[in-house]
Amino acid sequence: MSQKNNNKEFEFNHRSKRTRYINITDEEEEPEQILDNEEIELENHQEGGSQLENKDDTSSALSTLDEKDEKGSIVWKHFDRFVDNKGTSWAKCRYCGNGKYNMDSGSTGNLLRHLNKLHPNKVNPSIAQQAEIIKNFLQSANNVKIKFSNELFRAKLVEWIATDDQPFTVVESPEFRYVIQICNAEAQIPTADTIKSDILKLYKSYHINIQNILQNTPGKISFALDAWTSPNVIGFLGITGHYIDADWNIKDILVDFVNLSGSHSGENMANMFVTCLKEKKILTKILAIAADNAANNNTFLKSLEQTCVENHIAFHHKENHVRCIAHIMNLTVQEILKHIRAGEAQDENIILEELLEKNNKTNDIIPKLRKLIVKIRASPQRRDRFSRQCDLYPTVKDLNLILDVKTRWNSTYLMIERALQLQKPLDETIRIEPELEGFSISSNEWQTLKELCRVFAVMVFY
């Protein structure tokens, strides 16, 4: 292609990689050549020779091929070189004939870019093979697209609500409905009542699936169970199953989450458990029961043994009882805490009420730490001052104080561990806060906390 110079020319600055305009004459025509999109290069072709300057960068991948010795350069396997009647040296592509480049500068960078852009398979045949593999992969991946249907949408919507613990009424939210309509205007969004009905159907179908799995296990099944009361005071009995499948893999499965009506007595729990196993027709598969050491569990196992004897099933309330190691560890740690006068973990509001009393100070280290944490967390101003102290120590600036809870002994360990990590910010906050003076922790007390943390660390279950 022939181009006229229009009084200006782009010059590419190699160091700054910026382009500037320079004036040139408009009498001369540019020689025919092909330029890459990445390159802005015009030649000042004057009579008697060429003053072309190629100042483009060559990528690291290409530079390995751009040898100083033209005879040894790989490009001359793909280009023919000739000299015109003005003595200017040129290179022309052997494959397309379109690539024509001024070679007076001796640089083969433009030639390499031409090959890699238009004829990569000639330079490296494996590139073409790789490109074909990627193309086939992308085509196969695109074939996995799921075709929309309202039946599938409704089923997956129900699964999401159940799995993600969403309220049934989420489908009636105007914002939610709008988002779905944006995704697919044909989507029929069910009502909250329909969602509730679908979830109950899904629950029943899962029960059938679980029943089939447990019935077809090749051996016996061990069960673990525990009674639990929800925040809205509804009792439940959680039952899990543990077995080895036909391929010798250990499997764990949620068998049921039974609504435990009435008292949490051992007899009542045994009746609910036996009813569950009879419904699934797996009562004869009992191997062992894992439960904690609560008194009602001993009664439960004796009642279960009686039922098994009546049904000619081998089971003994002691021999087939696997005591919960986590519960045993909990009792052990609670005994340690009792002897060091750690006190009992309490609700934060109860601790705040105690702090309002006149005689709220304590010399026992763990109760003192507990009250210190509540005191700091209860005041936005103290929290802010404590946070600013933490910012002075990069390794702990994103950490927060932890308060232990009744139901998990290891939360006391975690509370102590975190306090030790935040020892310097805590000490400094106590120093600048007059109201925290009574909760100052001495170096000996910090050492005691370190020793307790070391002991509890070996008992922690995650």
Instruction: Give the pair of three-digit tokens for residue 272.
Output: 């609910």
Torsion angle of the four alpha carbons 190, 191, 194, 195, in this order, in degrees rounded to the nearest 10: 80
Range 212-217 average pLDDT: 95
Q: Which residues pair with 81 in a beta bridge?
A: 91
- Output the pLDDT for position 36: 40
Please tell me which residue, 453 or 71, carries the higher pLDDT value.
453
Does the pTM of the predicted model rise above 0.75? no
CB count in 10 Å sphere of residue 15: 7
Delimiting residues of CATH 3.30.420 domain(s) in the chain: 219-323
pLDDT in tens, 21-75: 333 333 333 433 433 433 333 333 333 333 333 434 333 333 333 333 444 466 7
- Give the type of residue at 323: R
What integer is the mean pLDDT of 164-176? 94
Question: What is the reported pLDDT for 297?
Answer: 92
Work out the pLDDT band at 143, boundaries 50, 70, 90: low
Q: What is the structure's pLDDT at 7?
A: 41
Which amino acid would we find at residue 307? T
Q: Are 63 and 56 in contact (CB under 8 A)?
A: no
Nearest in space to 407 (alpha carbons), one of 347, 324, 338, 321 = 347
Name the strands in the sheet holding 235-244, side by side, starting at the edge strand that comes first in the sequence: 250-259, 235-244, 221-229, 286-291, 321-323
Q: pLDDT at position 410, please?
A: 82
Q: What is the pLDDT of residue 191?
A: 95
Average pLDDT over residues 89-95: 86
CATH number of 219-323: 3.30.420
